[in-house]
Amino acid sequence: MDANSEESLLDSILNANARAEELASTGEWEDLGSLLARRDAMLREIGDAKKEAAIVASLKSTEQIRVLVEKRKSEIGKELGQLQRGRAATESYSANS
């Protein structure tokens, strides 16, 4: 792979990382999974000259995505708890009516 091709592939990987973080922040999980699979394929293709930079950037991005996923998981847990409390209150009200 020539230097221009490697630079272009590195740019594509960096763009994929940025887009993946956007998708994670908006909860677009299916699109995120597809994009990460494409990014990982690009990581396997990139030559040795740019591989370290690509991997370091992707690891940082993956960590940011992990943080966003954990945050969303916590939010969903809270929402689920509220729904369960609401259902319990409705059932209690119905039983006492």
pLDDT in tens, 42-69: 999 999 999 999 999 999 999 999 999 9
How many structural domains is the chain composed of? Answer: 1
Tell me the CATH number at 77: 1.20.58
User: Is this structure's pTM higher than 0.85?
Assistant: no
4 Cβ contact partners less than 8 Å away, ≥ 6 residues apart: none
What's the whole-number average pLDDT of the chain? 93
- Return the structure tokens found at 97: 């009516």
Q: Which domain holds residue 90?
A: 3-96
What's the token pair of residue 89? 């209150």
